[in-house]
Every structure is written in structure tokens, then in C-alpha cells.
Structure 1
């Protein structure tokens, strides 16, 4: 078995994109502790810090075929963790705003309540926005983000071009960002 510890980050990223599990294991070994410490310093919660780092690595596993770096591997990983942390902070701001409105009686510090509010409010807003999309855009969006079909598969299923699929997806994402705000949209994408 090859020794991936001697591989550079770009070599590991290329091997990962080709589906090499050993390359992923080396990336994980090389960066997990550093990313965890980085997340912990921001969040001050061990479990939440571990969850954030695991989510980033889980995303990498699920998207290896599309894993293309525009920066260094370490920059990509740190930025991904930081985006997850911003997501958590944005979510906390949404919860605080909801609580400050005083339209309900809940235990503010309850983690369970926190998740229930997020699920109910944000999922409801997103559902509403998706329902408001033009029919074809909505259908393309759902096939991509709810059934996880590729643009090519959607084009074949709906008998339209891939360009048309991509146009619908770009417009749908833009509409969601504009109507929901970037913080809610990012929260949705990262937890979707």
C-alpha cells in the first residue's frame, strides 16, 4: 500500500477526486486535529467543534467527483470550517431575533428548542420560496436538491438541454438567496 503521508496537498486532492480512499484518510489524519482546534477556539464547545469538522469531511466524501480546488487544500478546509461556524453564529442570531420578538414562551437555552425553531421556521420559509418558483424551475430544483440528480440526469428525465437545467438551477439559487437572505440560504445549503 502506498504511503500517502509523503504526498503534497495538491496530490492528495487529485487522488481524492479520483476516488482514492487512502488519500481521504491521509487528508483526514493530516487536518482533523488542526481543524478541530480551530473550530473549538471559535465555538468553545467540544462536541459542536467535532460536528463542524466531521460535516466538512462528510461533504468531501459525498462530493469527491466534483472536488476541485481553486485554492490550497488547507485554505479550502479552514474556509469550509469557518463557513460552518458562521452558519452556527447566523443561526444563533436568527434564534435570538425570534426570541426577542416575544411571540412565544420557550426555554431559551434548550438545544432541542433551538433545533425545533430552526426546522420549523427556516424549512417553512424555504418551502414557501420553492413553491413560488415557476413550475419548470421548481421541478428542476427539486430533482437536483431533493432527489440529488445530476444536471445530465435531469436533462434526460425532462427532455431538455443541460444548459436549460443549469439556467433553471442558477435562477432558482439566485431567487432563494435574494428572497431568503444569504445567511438563511447558506444555512439551508450547508444543512440540506
Structure 2
């Protein structure tokens, strides 16, 4: 059996478009755990996160012939995970149990989170905040958010100190939070910054 573990993501994508099942399996093995872990941070549900990631991979296989990936495969898969996870949150935001699970780390359970949240509007505001970041800070933040790289991995990739990475991400979150504060309560801002970091 031919091994594909040594291939780059771009090479795997080319094989995937030729309906290569080994390439698909390698992409799955390479990113499944990272995607589920990211989704769990958003949804607070391991079962739902596994279903979300499964749905992404089913879609990936079904659309393999016409698939267009702009940027890196890692970024594409993480963005897909974020979008489906946020859709899950949007569907369940009015569930008391769900809201409690989501907010227990920042507010007392007796407090209520704003209802009628437009996640499209929030995503637009977040993207607008990211666009305002200085170029280097934006690069660091996007590597953390879109590719889910650790501080160490970002530091190695950009050849900067790990402490610098941490400070840049912290500052980026503050700037994005300020753009959200114009429309959201402090609690909701804290919640969304936590979810999308």
C-alpha cells in the first residue's frame, strides 16, 4: 500500500480531487482531532462537535471534484468548523442549559445573556475588528484563530519570541473586544472573545 503521510496538504488536495480515498483518510487523520477540539471550545459539547466535524468531512468528500480551497487546507477546515459550530450555537442559543454551559466561566448562572443575537452581524463586527489590526498583529492572530497554531508554532513560523506572540494575541483580542463593545454588553463581548480566540 502506498503511503501518503509524507505528502503536503496541497498534494493531498490534488489527489482528493482524483477521488483518492487514501488522501482523504490522511486529511481526516491529520485534522480530525484539532477540528473537534476547536469545536468543543465553541459548543461545549463533545458529541455535537464530533457530529459537526463528521458533517464537514462528509461534505468534503461529496464536493471533492468541485472543491475550491483558498489559502491553506488547515485554515479552510478550521473556518468550516467555526462556521458550523456557530450555526449550532445560533440554533441553540435560547436553550437554558446551553446558555448556562456557555456562560458559566464568565458570569453567575443567574445572569441572563442577551437574546436575539445576530451571529452574522457579530461575525461581521469581529472581521471588521480584525481588519483594523496592525499587519503583524493580524498575521499572528489569524495564525492562531484560522490555523489553530500554538504560541510556540506561531513563534517558530514567524521567527519571533513566544512572549511576543502571546502579547500580540492579547492586544488583538482587546482591540476586537473594543469594536464589539459598541453594540454588545460586557458579558456578551467577553463570551464571544472567549469563543473566537
| TM-score (normalizing by structure 2) | 0.47
| TM-score (normalizing by structure 1) | 0.48
Greater helix fraction, Structure 1 or Structure 2 = 1
| Bigger Rg, which one | 1
